[in-house]
């Protein structure tokens, strides 16, 4: 304490600040991909999906296996997304559909049970040693005298593309319109002939697939292990609350905000402690804007 702010800023070179900005946006976009699946499932189905981090983790593992078998990263990305989307549909049909119409809190309990099972299954199947996904390409480009890997930028763009595609699908696709109709009024949608239970299953599958895709994309940056989902689901929950539950745009803004803040914070403190900054943001949000930072003030 007692260090003046200018001195603190001078201690950080400009290049490092820039690198952290780009890093923050990249992490933020991955986080946005995880959180938009979570907020989609919550906003449409009233299900708080505790198993979301485990779907992220299993997606990364399926990616590791497919990559080892085929040697192609993009094939691994697609296979992982589809596999986990199917798994998501299966989970929804077997455990969440019987809970339709019950208190949303029971879905927290059920998905918590699912997360325990999946996490221990991964530990059992793949062991405690972290696996690595090889990046599809390793090129660098120069960013103010510093090398920066292209791959990181590609992740951010891909995440943005997937989220954009989801938005277009929800806005203009026939099935997207079904999904939005189900959100607005489940009973009325059913009366209009929309197969509501199937729509909910598809939504859960889409959310699960998005989690898996982000798992594979993020795999090359960190090791893949059975506990990697825990960190992410917590961060995604923070994002979803800060951005406003069920609000896609808010989640993206909040993800980038949290990503940037944590990467700036890690200039001064260790990454483990940088998490505390997001916690503080969450507390402040709850105090002053309990409906979320990025939604219009309720009237």
Partner 1 sequence: MSARRVVVYWTAFSVILALLIVAPLVLPEFWRRFLTEILIWGLLAMSSDILIGYAGMVSFGHSAFFGLGMYGAAAALLLVKPPDLWLAILYGLIAAAGVAAFVAYFATRLRDIYFAITTLIFSQIFYVIIFTWTEVTGGENGLTFGRPALAIPGLFSVPFTSETLHWFVLAVVTASYLALRRITQSPFGMVLQSIRENEARTRAIGYPIERYKIAAVMLSGLFAGLAGVLYAIQNRFAAPDFVFFLISGEVVIFNVIGGIGTLVGPIVGAAFFLLLREGFSRFFTEYYLIPVGLIFIAMVIFMPQGLLGFMRRWLNQ
Among 3, 5, 105, 187, binds partner 1 (CB under 8 A): 105
Question: What minimum distance in Å lies between the beta carbon of 114 and partner 1?
Answer: 6
Question: How far is Cα 297 from Cα 299, in angstroms, rounded to an integer?
Answer: 6
Q: Does 272 bind partner 1 (CB under 8 A)?
A: yes
The answer to whether 8 and 227 have CB atoms below 8 angstroms apart is no
Question: What minimum distance in Å lies between the beta carbon of 104 and partner 1?
Answer: 6
Q: Does 113 bind partner 1 (CB under 8 A)?
A: yes
Q: Does 283 bind partner 1 (CB under 8 A)?
A: yes
In the region spanning residues 40 to 59, those forming contacts with partner 1, defined by CB under 8 A, are: 48
Alpha-carbon torsion, ordered 31, 104, 98, 51, to 10 deg: 30
Question: How far is Cα 191 from Cα 78, in angstroms, rounded to an integer?
Answer: 36
Q: Does 35 bind partner 1 (CB under 8 A)?
A: no
Size, binding site for partner 1 by CB under 8 A: 37
Residue 248 sits at φ, ψ, to 5 deg, of -65, -50
Q: Does 112 bind partner 1 (CB under 8 A)?
A: yes
Q: Does 36 bind partner 1 (CB under 8 A)?
A: no
- What is the greatest pairwise CA distance in the chain? 67
Q: Does 31 bind partner 1 (CB under 8 A)?
A: no
Could you tell me where the DSSP H helices lie in the chain?
A: 5-10, 14-45, 52-70, 73-91, 104-126, 150-172, 174-184, 186-191, 196-218, 228-243, 248-265, 271-288
Among 85, 241, 252, 256, binds partner 1 (CB under 8 A): 241
Q: Is 94 exposed, middle or buried (0-12, 13-18, 19+ CB in 10 A)?
A: exposed
Q: Does 295 bind partner 1 (CB under 8 A)?
A: no
Q: Does 138 bind partner 1 (CB under 8 A)?
A: no
- The contact set with partner 1 (CB under 8 A) reads 48, 95, 98-99, 102, 104-106, 108-110, 112-114, 116-117, 119-121, 123-124, 234, 237-238, 241, 245, 270, 272-273, 275-276, 279, 282-283, 286-287, 290
């Amino acid at each position: 304490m007692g260090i003046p702010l200018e001195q603190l800023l001078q201690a950080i070179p400009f290049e490092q600040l820039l690198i952290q900005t780009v890093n923050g946006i990249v992490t933020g976009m991955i986080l946005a991909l995880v959180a938009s699946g979570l907020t989609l499932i919550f906003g449409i189905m009233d299900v708080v999906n505790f198993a979301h981090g485990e779907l992220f983790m299993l997606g990364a593992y399926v990616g590791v296996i497919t990559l080892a078998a085929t040697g192609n990263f993009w094939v691994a990305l697609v296979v992982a997304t589809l596999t986990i989307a199917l798994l998501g549909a299966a989970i929804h049909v077997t455990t969440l559909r019987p809970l339709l119409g019950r208190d949303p809190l029971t879905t927290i309990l059920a998905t918590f049970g699912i997360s325990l099972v999946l996490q221990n299954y991964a530990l059992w199947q793949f062991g405690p040693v972290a696996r690595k996904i090889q990046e599809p390409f390793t090129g660098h480009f120069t960013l103010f005298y510093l090398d920066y890997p292209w791959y990181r930028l590609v992740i951010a763009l891909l995440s943005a593309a997937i989220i954009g595609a989801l938005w277009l699908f929800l806005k203009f696709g026939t099935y997207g319109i079904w999904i939005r109709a189900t959100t607005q009024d489940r009973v009325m949608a059913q009366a209009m002939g929309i197969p509501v239970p199937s729509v909910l299953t598809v939504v859960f599958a889409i959310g699960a697939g998005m989690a898996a895709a982000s798992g594979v994309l993020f795999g090359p940056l960190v090791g893949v292990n059975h506990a990697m989902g825990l960190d992410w689901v917590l961060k995604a929950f923070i994002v979803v609350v800060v951005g406003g539950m069920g609000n896609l745009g808010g989640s993206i803004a909040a993800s980038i905000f949290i990503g940037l803040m944590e990467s700036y914070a890690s200039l001064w403190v260790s990454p483990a402690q940088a998490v505390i900054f997001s916690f503080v943001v969450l507390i402040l949000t709850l105090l002053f804007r309990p409906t979320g930072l990025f939604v219009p003030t309720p009237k």
